[in-house]
Amino acid sequence: MIVSSQVRSNRCAGSAPGIPSQPSRAATRLKYLHRAAVVSSFAFLIGLSSVCHADTQVGGTLPPAPDKLYGELFVAVQTAQIYPDQKTFVDATPNADPAAIVQLYQQQKSNPGFSLANFVNQYFTPPSEPVITPPANQTLREHINWLWPALTRTTTSAPPNSSLIPLPKPYVVPGGRFREGYYWDTYFTMLGLQEAGREDLVDNMLDNFAYMIDTFGHIPNGNRTYYLDRSQPPFFSHMVELAAKVEGRGVYQKYLPALRKEYGYWMQGESSTPAGSATRNVVVMPDRTVLNRYWDELDTPRDESYLEDIKTAQQATGRSPNDVYRELRATAESGWDFSSRWFGDNMTLATVRTTSIVPVDLNSLMFHLEITIAKGCGETRDFRCVGEFAGRAAKRALGINRYLWNPNGYYGDYDWQLAKPRDNKTAAMVFPLFVGAAWPDRAKKTAQQVQSTLLQPGGLVTTTYNTTQQWDAPNGWAPLHWVAIQGLKRYGQDALAQQIGTRFLTDVKGVYASDKKLVEKYVVEGAGTGGGGGGEYPLQDGFGWTNGVTLKLLDLYNPGQ
164: left (phi over 0), alpha (psi -120 to 50) or beta: beta
CA torsion sign for 220, 163, 132, 177 is positive
Q: What is the pLDDT of residue 130?
A: 78
Q: DSSP assignment of 151-200, as one string?
A: HEE--SEE-TT-SBPP-SS-EE--BTTB-S-BHHHHHHHHHHHHHTT-HH
CA–CA distances in Å: residue 47 to residues 44, 206, 289, 312, 405: 5, 43, 58, 41, 63
Same domain assignment for residues 449 and 539: yes
Gap between the Cα atoms of 279 and 23, Å rounded: 54
Cβ atoms 19, 45 nearer than 8 A: yes
Same domain assignment for residues 253 and 141: yes
440: left (phi over 0), alpha (psi -120 to 50) or beta: alpha
| Domain final residue, candidates 210, 240, 266 | 266
| Residues annotated as catalytic (active site), given as ranges | 337, 520
Q: How many domains does the chain have?
A: 3
In a domain, 293, yes or no: no
| Domain final residue, candidates 241, 266, 291 | 266
Q: What is the pLDDT of residue 52?
A: 43
Of 453, 463, 459, the residue nearest 511 (C-alpha): 459
CA–CA distances in Å: residue 187 to residues 167, 177, 233, 470, 494: 17, 19, 10, 21, 23
Same domain assignment for residues 182 and 90: no
How many other C-beta atoms can be found within 10 angstroms of the C-beta atom of residue 18? 14
Same domain assignment for residues 141 and 218: yes
Q: What is the pLDDT of residue 131?
A: 82
Same domain assignment for residues 145 and 227: yes
In a domain, 350, yes or no: no
Same domain assignment for residues 144 and 25: no
- Could you tell me whether strands 414-415 and 357-358 are parallel, antiparallel, or unpaired per DSSP bridges? antiparallel
Binding site per annotation, positions for substrate: 177, 184-185, 221, 230-232, 335, 536
HSE at residue 392, side-chain half, CA atoms within 13 A, is 25
In a domain, 384, yes or no: no
Q: DSSP assignment of 66-94, as one string?
A: HHHHHTHHHHHHHHTTSSSSHHHHHH-EE
- Which letter does DSSP use for residue 273 in this model? P
- Could you tell me whether strands 282-284 and 290-292 are parallel, antiparallel, or unpaired per DSSP bridges? antiparallel
Length of the chain equals 561
Same domain assignment for residues 192 and 105: no
pTM: 0.92
Same domain assignment for residues 178 and 77: no
Determine the structural domain holding residue 18 and report its residue range.
Answer: 11-125
Gap between the Cα atoms of 236 and 360, Å rounded: 17
Listed in sequence order, the residues at least 6 apart from 286 whose beta carbon sits closer than 8 Å to its beta carbon are 275, 276, 419
Q: Which amino acid is at 372?
A: T
The Cα angle at residue 438 between residues 374 and 548, in degrees rounded to 5: 75
In a domain, 46, yes or no: yes
| Domain final residue, candidates 222, 251, 266 | 266
Same domain assignment for residues 193 and 100: no
- Which letter does DSSP use for residue 463 in this model? B
How far is C-alpha 342 from the geometric centre of its chain's CA atoms? 17
Cβ atoms 220, 179 nearer than 8 A: no
Same domain assignment for residues 120 and 197: no
pLDDT, block means (10 residues), the chain with 561 residues:
32 38 37 36 40 78 98 98 98 98 98 98 93 92 97 97 98 97 98 97 98 98 98 98 98 98 98 98 98 98 98 97 98 98 98 98 99 98 98 98 98 98 98 98 98 98 98 98 98 98 97 96 89 96 97 91 74
Same domain assignment for residues 252 and 146: yes
Cβ atoms 18, 122 nearer than 8 A: yes
Cβ atoms 455, 427 nearer than 8 A: no
Binding site per annotation, positions: 177, 184-185, 221, 230-232, 335, 536
CA–CA distances in Å: residue 278 to residues 158, 268, 295, 300, 441: 37, 10, 10, 20, 31
Of 103, 104, 99, 100, the residue nearest 68 (C-alpha): 99
Same domain assignment for residues 549 and 484: yes
In a domain, 289, yes or no: no
Q: What is the pLDDT of residue 43?
A: 36
Exposure letters 168-201 (e unless 16+ CB within 10 A, then b): bbbbbbbbbbbbbbbbbbbbbbbbbbbbbebeeb
Q: What is the pLDDT of residue 2?
A: 33
In a domain, 27, yes or no: yes
Gap between the Cα atoms of 276 and 280, Å rounded: 14
In a domain, 420, yes or no: no
The Cα angle at residue 216 between residues 60 and 51, in degrees rounded to 5: 25
Gap between the Cα atoms of 200 and 221, Å rounded: 23
In a domain, 55, yes or no: yes
Question: Dmax over Cα atoms in the chain, in whole Å?
Answer: 85
